[in-house]
Chain A
Amino acid sequence: MKIIIKTLFLAIIVLVIACNESDDFCLSNQQSVQAGFYSAETGNDSTVSDVSFISLPGDGIILENDTLYNSESLSNSFLPLSMASDTTKYLVKILNQKDTITFIHSKELSFVSEECGFVFSFELDTVIYTDISFIDSVAIDYTSIKYNESTENVKIFLY
């Protein structure tokens, strides 16, 4: 009986050590508006070539690199929202034509995990856009931007 107890002791120690390790892996760049391109005529999603997104930060915010996408072929884009300001403005360039999209949003601190720390969850309030060159309209589809969610937030309709 002593032997049984001792074996159980050992088995439990091994089991507990094996179970106690937990690995977290943390996702990065979870604070972006997911915006897709759509054709205004058909309403179908479309891939657009030679697209650039350039950040237009507000006063006092200096970015090392304000270019997010540089002449890329995109059907879908991820536009990070500013944490320091409640508005985030992007200049959209297709070939040499320009338009701007401005997001007005609110943020809330959100806990991810003990190891990964915190992120902001955003709530899209309004989207303001210029329709000078190629944007027909911009519509908000899904207002919340949360960690580990990949729902498209905004539809950009192009001529």
Chain B
Amino acid sequence: MLRFFFINILFIGFTAALCAQNYTNQTRSNQQSYGQNQQDNQQEGTPKKKKKKLPYPDKERGLSIGVDVSRFLVPVLDNDRIAFEANLKTNYKKRMFLAGSLGFESVSFEDESTNTPPKDGKPYSYESTGIYGRVGFDYDIFVVEEENNNDNILFGFRYGFATQEHGADQITISDDHWGYYTTSISTYSVTTHWLELVSGLRTELFNNLYLNLYVRLKTKLASNNSKVMEPYRIPGFGRGSNNISLGFSYVVEYQIPWGNKKRGQ
């Protein structure tokens, strides 16, 4: 018990001394010798080793033109949809990229619930075509000493924008007792804005040919949809009824070398 008190008092005394040293100027002269001692101690002891900070290396710079190859998989996974996306990227300042994409997506499916016998599927016919664009920047956090390593680990933001024309030719609402009722929603346009948090890996496959993998977390900002129907897919965003959407891109791009310093300088 006594020991406990003793240690505590010692501890309080010690912290008080630290505070005094930090904040009181008047007593400084009195404590000069003490300060001197401490300085000596610091020099003698093992100083905190500063982590050697590597400078950002000279990676190849240029203008990249790419295609999102994952969009070609969309019709394979869902044969109601067709999508395409082109990408452009260029270096900005030392370790940033300015990035932009332009894409297209269309959806079309038929209502087969009124067929005899009825087929399983979506109980409405739907058609949508739209384009989208996104612009933003990436920041490269990948610092490596290895010579000629042009890979990047990227974090960034995008602002996305899509406009589409969509409509439902036939909407079937069925009821076990009353049978089915059909109605329709004529084609109209919807504009959507969203924000993306992106994280990407970029690796050089061959000279100047890069592969990008992006994961995108998207948040819908605004939509001018005036009717009850939500877009089946918002081009570039995802399901129309979602406010948050996760997406990914797999971009193969060619970098046209541009603005490089000569190596070895």
Contact = CB atoms under 8 A, between A and B. Distances in A.
Partners in one complex: yes
Interface of A: 1-2, 5-6, 8-9, 12-13, 16, 19-20, 22, 28-29, 31, 55, 63-65, 68, 80, 82-84, 109-111, 113-120
A77 B60 CA distance: 73
A116 B241 contact: no
Contact of B175 (A12, A20, A80): A80
Nearest to B216: A16
A64 B180 CA distance: 12
Given A9-B201, A83-B178, 17 more contacts: A1-B144, A1-B149, A5-B203, A9-B213, A12-B215, A29-B177, A55-B177, A63-B179, A82-B178, A83-B181, A114-B122, A114-B239, A114-B240, A117-B122, A117-B173, A118-B124, A118-B229
Contacts of A28: 174, 176
B232 interface: yes
Interface in B152-195: 153, 171-179, 181, 183, 185
B123 interface: yes
B228 interface: yes
Interface of B: 122-124, 142, 144, 146, 149, 151, 153, 171-179, 181, 183, 185, 201, 203, 213, 215, 228-230, 232-233, 239-241, 246, 248
B248 A29 contact: no
A80 B177 contact: yes
Contacts of B183: 109, 118
A115 B177 contact: no
A19 B175 CA distance: 33
Which of A1, A19, A55 is packed against the most chain B CB atoms within 10 Å? A1
A5 B173 CA distance: 50
A118 B241 CA distance: 13
A9 B211 CA distance: 10
A85 to B, nearest CB: 10
Nearest to B151: A5
A143 to B, nearest CB: 19
Nearest to B174: A28
A117 B153 contact: no
7 contacts: A5-B201, A12-B201, A55-B177, A111-B241, A114-B233, A118-B171, A118-B228
A20 to B, nearest CB: 8
A1 B122 CA distance: 47
B213 A12 contact: yes
Contacts of A115: 122
A41 B150 CA distance: 85
A72 to B, nearest CB: 15
A12 B248 contact: yes
Given A1-B144, A29-B176, A113 B246 contact: no
Contact of B232 (A5, A114, A118): A114
A8 B201 contact: yes
Nearest to A120: B173
A12 to B, nearest CB: 6
B180 to A, nearest CB: 8
A106 to B, nearest CB: 15
Contact of B176 (A8, A16, A80): A80
B228 A110 contact: yes
A22 B176 CA distance: 27
B153 A63 contact: no
Given A5-B151, A5-B153, A12-B215, A118 B201 contact: no
Which of B146, B171, B177, B215 is packed against the most chain A CB atoms within 10 Å? B177
B79 to A, nearest CB: 15
Contacts of A16: 215, 246, 248
Contact of B172 (A109, A113, A117): A117
B244 to A, nearest CB: 12
CB-based closest 4 A-B pairs:
A83-B181, A117-B123, A80-B177, A16-B248
